[in-house]
A and B are shown apart, each in its own frame.
Chain A
């Protein structure tokens, strides 16, 4: 066990403890892995009604200057200059060998770009961006980030901020909620409709309490956050994608914007654009075991002859699917939907099929 006194705390730490959160270390922060409802219950509640997640450990930053998008494009695969105010995009920081340094969300917030990066990559990302953006970049360390996800999210949030109902998927707006200047995006990491809300640290606990007091809302820990995103087929950085995987291998071609495919100009573009044309040797796929045994991260994947063809990068039990699910990389000749493979769980072959992602129907409000 790590020494919990050394861990960073989010502005909602005291509330997590009060609500019975089981606190664990994650990316240097003390975070709730689950609450008394438990991972299964929290997962199902989010899909049925609404779940509130504290994601304040993630890095929030703003980039100022009229050339902000142009400069950030030199590090990422996305067309950021095309984003009009309120629009946002999922994109990738790549390196010179075509690997992925992090995945991130970039939003045109009107007079600046609002960027959210992964907690575990935050310091490396900041250094990486600083080299290009220098003083134009400011870390918003005085803000909390909350996610409200699930079919009830719109009703719950729009009761406090009616403008929230007007946003559609991947749109954003600044809103004053209970006197606090918030920045709201209609996005998330669960496959459900919902919001991520950037709120001043000092207003975060009161805002969270207000959301949790709604009968449809339960607090959700990192355990269910992981099972929800896995069912939604979404990558977890450091597991499903990392510096050793390219966007093409990671089946994230859609995160390379059309203009960037044509123009390049991002790190590793020669390698990535070549893979776009000629294909990569392996690919991230969905995997559905036939039995009930979950295949965890690191599980070897073999073909029918027992030859190693890849490994699982995320795997577990899908509470909504009601069975084991996984994602992993396989050689390209085994990446087709319906391909029969074996998951080597505790040394024994467990039959599984390559399936399309996501495992559950996404419920975004388009």
Chain B
């Protein structure tokens, strides 16, 4: 059983067995437009909640992706280096950015559920 939570900065995290998969929301990719470059964090890097974790760039601008929770990066989506447009095509699926082993699962309580996020994004 997995739970998906959202941040005010339009990241999603889907947690299963203490490991969260992180990406940007469909709303975020729509706002950014055509994504041409993605930089994912190095595996093994320790992130604190709110750290700059990844970068997603459109033709127009670069956007930082923040860590929604603290923990250690266990996997990164290396395929995005060659196919950054996957984030546009499937932001909440194949366009995931990295996986993080949560150091403090209680941080999830501070994040929004899907209904709250939809209200936040005005969707």
B60: chain A residues within 8 A (beta carbon): 33, 39, 223, 226, 316
Nearest chain-A residue to B31 (Cβ)? Answer: A22
Complex Cα gap A43–B37 (Å): 17
Look across to chain B and name the residue whose beta carbon is closest to the beta carbon of A293: B37
**Could you tell me which residues of chain A, from 17 to 66, have a CB within 8 Å of some CB in chain B?**
33-34, 38-41, 43
Say yes or no: is B36 at the interface (Cβ < 8 Å to chain A): yes
Q: Are A294 and B33 in contact (CB under 8 A)?
A: no
- Find the B residue at minimum CB distance from A222: B60
Q: Nearest residue in B to A226 (C-beta to C-beta)? A: B60
- Per DSSP, chain A at the interface is mixed
Main secondary structure of the interface of B (DSSP, over half): strand
- Tell whether, in the assembled complex, residue B34 and residue A293 are in contact, meaning their CB atoms are under 8 Å apart: no
Contact A39 B37 (CB under 8 A): no
With A and B bound together, what is the CA distance between A183 and B7 in angstroms? 52
Name which residue of chain A comes closest to B52, CB basis.
Answer: A346
The answer on a CB contact under 8 Å between B55 and A316 is no
B39-61 vs A: 1/0 string, CB under 8 Å?
10000000000001001011111
B37 contacts A294, CB within 8 Å? yes
**Does B62 sit within 8 A of A, measured CB to CB?**
yes
Q: Which residues of B contact A223 (CB under 8 A)?
A: 33, 59-60
Q: Digitize B58-70: 1 where CB-to-A-CB distance is under 8 Å, 0 elsewhere.
A: 1111100000000
A324 within 8 A of B: yes
Min CB distance A176 to B, Å, is 38
Complex formed: what's the CA distance from A274 to B62 in Å? 40
Task: Determine which of A227, A292, A293, A346 lies in contact with B59 in the assembled complex, contact meaning CB atoms within 8 Å.
Answer: A227
Shortest Cβ gap from A40 to chain B (Å):
4
- Distance to closest chain A CB from B66 (angstroms): 14
Closest to B82 in A: A292
Question: What residues of A have a CB within 8 angstroms of the CB of B34 in the complex?
Answer: 38-41
| Chain B contacts for A34, CB-based, 8 A | 33
A223–B32 CA distance with the chains assembled, in angstroms: 12
Chain A residues with Cβ below 8 Å from B39 are 293, 346
- B61 adjacent to A296 (CB under 8 Å): yes
Q: Which of B37, B55, B59, B81 contacts A40 (CB 8 A)?
A: B59
Number of A-B contacts (CB under 8 A): 44
Q: How many chain B residues have a CB neighbour from A under 8 Å?
A: 14
- Chain B contacts for A294, CB-based, 8 A: 36-37, 57, 62
Pick from B33, B52, B62, B81: contact of A39, CB below 8 A.
B33
> Does A336 interact with chain B (Cβ within 8 Å)?
no
Task: Please state if B61 and A39 are interface contacts (CB–CB under 8 Å).
Answer: no
Query: How far, in Å, is A114 (CB) from chain B's closest CB?
Result: 32
Q: How far is the CA of A293 from the CA of B55 in the complex (A)?
A: 10
Q: Which residues of B contact A39 (CB under 8 A)?
A: 33-34, 58-60
A317 at interface, CB cutoff 8 A: yes
Contacts of B59 in A (CB 8 A): 39-40, 43, 223-224, 227, 316-317, 319
- Closest chain-B Cβ to A38's Cβ sits at a distance in Å of 5
Write out the residue numbers on chain A whose beta carbons fall within 8 Å of the beta carbon of B58: 39
Q: How far is the CB of B95 from chain A (nearest CB, A)?
A: 16
* Smallest CB separation, A143 vs chain B (Å): 29
On chain B, the residues within 8 Å of A227 by CB distance are 59
For B58, give the chain A residue with the smallest CB separation. Answer: A39
Chain B nearest CB from A359 CB (Å) reads 14
The 0/1 profile, CB within 8 Å of B marked 1, for residues 278-293 of chain A is 0000000000000011
Interface centre among B55, B57, B58, B60 (most CB of A within 10 A): B60
B81 touches A292 (CB 8 A): yes
User: Could you tell me the distance in whole angstroms from the C-beta of B28 to the nearest C-beta in chain A?
Assistant: 15
CB pair A296 B81 closer than 8 Å: no
Which residue of the partner chain B has the closest CB to A319? B59
CA distance A322 to B55 in the complex (A): 19
B residues in contact with A316, CB < 8 Å: 59-60
CA distance A33 to B60 in the complex (A): 9
Considering only CB atoms, which chain B residue lies closest to A39 in the complex? Answer: B59
| A positions within 8 Å CB-CB of B | 33-34, 38-41, 43, 223-224, 226-227, 292-294, 296, 316-317, 319, 324, 346
Q: A38-B33, A223-B33, A296-B61 are in contact. List 11 more A-B contacts (CB 8 A).
A: A39-B33, A39-B59, A40-B34, A40-B36, A43-B59, A223-B59, A292-B37, A296-B62, A317-B57, A319-B36, A346-B55
Q: 6 smallest A-B Cβ distances: which pairs? A: A40-B34, A317-B36, A39-B59, A223-B60, A317-B59, A38-B34
List 10 A-B residue pairs with CB atoms under 8 Å apart, sorted by A's residue number. Answer: A40-B33, A40-B59, A227-B59, A294-B37, A294-B62, A316-B60, A317-B36, A319-B59, A324-B37, A346-B39
